[in-house]
Amino acid sequence: MDSSIREITQFTVFMDIYKLSFLIAILGGFLQLSSGQTRDCSGACTLQARCNPYHKDLFWAVVGGVCRVFQNGCFFGSANCQRANQCLRPMVATSPENCKEYCPQRCPLAGERVCGWFAYIDVNGVNRDRSMSFRNRCLLDHYAYRNGIAYIGEPSVVSCP
């Protein structure tokens, strides 16, 4: 029995590594980096995906020196596509433990208020969502990675209605 569980665990780890490697290889193919030239990256990535905000399979990445949580691989891939169109390097998925090393211990009190949108499935299996206001983007990011909850899309620079 223990060997069966060990084999299943090893297979699951192998599949997770395989999926992550495949995603990174595809996203890396979207970028064609050349040094010393001004480039027009608009249209570098034409990925058009309709991501399911209620499917939770968190992806963690360090973006601009800050830990960011994505709801699933589709949202992570879509954000990387947007980065490619801005001539930015692709994000690389990392572990939650590594990502949390890039979480600021304190956030400034000043800044523009933001509204984050969170999708979830309640205990009865019903798709739900909620919007939450934060004093600034740092506090939104802090809330997301401390609680292991991803906000969907880019936050609005206003208080939530």
Alpha-carbon distance of 25 to 30, in angstroms, equals 9
Between 20 and 156, name the one with better pLDDT.
Answer: 156
Between 23 and 99, name the one with better pLDDT.
Answer: 99
- Amino acid making up residue 49: A
Weakest-pLDDT range from 11-20, 28-37, 69-78, 136-145: 28-37
Tokens representing residue 47 in the block: 């990925």
Q: What is the rounded average pLDDT for all residues in the chain?
A: 83
Alpha-carbon distance of 107 to 142, in angstroms, equals 8
Residue 150 pLDDT = 97
Residue 21 pLDDT = 47
* pLDDT confidence tier of residue 44, bands split at 50, 70 and 90: confident
Tokens representing residue 61 in the block: 């990445």
- CA neighbor of 44 nearest in space, from 75, 88, 74, 76: 88
- Reported as a single tens digit per residue, the pLDDT across 56-91 is 999 999 999 999 999 999 999 999 999 999 999 999
- Reported as a single tens digit per residue, the pLDDT across 108-127 is 989 999 999 999 999 999 99
On whether the CB atoms of residues 57 and 73 are closer than 8 A, the answer is: yes
Straight-line distance from the first to the last Cα atom of the chain, in angstroms, rounded to the nearest whole number: 54
Characterize the bridge pairing of strands 93-94 and 127-134. unpaired
Phi/psi at 56 (5° precision): -105, 115
Alpha-carbon distance of 40 to 43, in angstroms, equals 8
> Could you tell me the pTM of the whole model?
0.72
